[in-house]
Amino acid sequence: MSTYEISVTNLTNAQPLSPPVVMLHDGDYRIFTLGQPAGAGLEVLAEGGDAQPLLDEALAADSVSQAVAFDAPIPPGAQAQVSVTISDNARADLRVSVATMLVNTNDAFTALNGLPEVGVLAPGQMLEASTPAYDAGTEADDEAPGSIPGPADGGEGFNAARDDDADRVAMHSGVLTAMDALPTSVLTEQHRFDNPVARIQVRRVN
């Protein structure tokens, strides 16, 4: 058995990260493909911060050896970690993926989409990546009252309608906020962000 510790640091000013989902998998799994529609589990995570459907999808996939969700959100400036244990024969082509919502947005998330070379880490060695904000493309970025689940609004999270939007995953273009170009936004200038929004470290424990 081999144990890996996956740690996530929130680099934003005012975007709590929803409890991240972590998957250890081979080269046949990915959370999303840029330019293609988000899967149902990713849509729920990106709109509402609910990790469970994406976690369930991953656990059901043959190419995923283990998947877990963090038990709490990660506030700005904070770091949290989980440990995941897999069998030694799962190490051959091991990759790590992580996904979490920026909760003071309509449907922004950050993700590590299949970090390679995890399988060659020796005990004690670590890989590190900085991750950008993506737009799930499943909800209009209207920043409207009632549409954002984070503390800035306390609004609705997931809604199955893929309304008024591209229905494809893209790099996020950032939030407008009420102090900038969108007077009806529930967000303030504090909620703006630039990339990277998270730092993810993968350390092999043993």
**Cβ distance to another protein smaller for residue 11 or 103:** 11
Strands 21-25, 126-131: pairing kind: unpaired
Q: Is 129 an interacting residue with respect to another protein (CB under 8 A)?
A: yes
Q: Dihedral sign for Cα 30, 54, 40, 12, please.
A: negative
Query: Does residue 190 belong to the site contacting another protein (CB under 8 A)?
Result: yes
172 Cβ contact list (under 8 Å, min separation 6): 105, 108, 132, 133, 134, 135
- By CB under 8 A, name the one of 83, 87, 189, 205 that touches another protein: 189
Using omega within 30 degrees of 0 as the cis cutoff, is the peptide bond preceding 196 cis?
Answer: yes
Cα distance between residue 177 and residue 172, in whole Å:
14
Residue 3 C-beta: closest distance to another protein, Å: 19
| Binding of residue 185 to another protein (CB under 8 A) | no
Contact between 126 and another protein (CB under 8 A)? yes
Query: Can residue 9 be called a binding residue for another protein (CB under 8 A)?
Result: yes
Task: Pick left, alpha or beta for residue 27 (phi over 0 → left; psi -120 to 50 → alpha; otherwise beta).
Answer: alpha
Closest CA to 131 of 96, 98, 173: 98
The yes or no reply on residue 114 touching another protein (CB under 8 A) is no
Does residue number 180 form part of the binding site for another protein (CB under 8 A)? Answer: yes
Q: Is 120 in the site for another protein (CB under 8 A)?
A: yes
> Minimal distance in Å, beta carbon 78 to another protein?
7
What are the residues binding another protein (CB under 8 A)? Answer: 9-14, 76-79, 115, 117, 120-122, 125-130, 174, 179-180, 189-197, 199
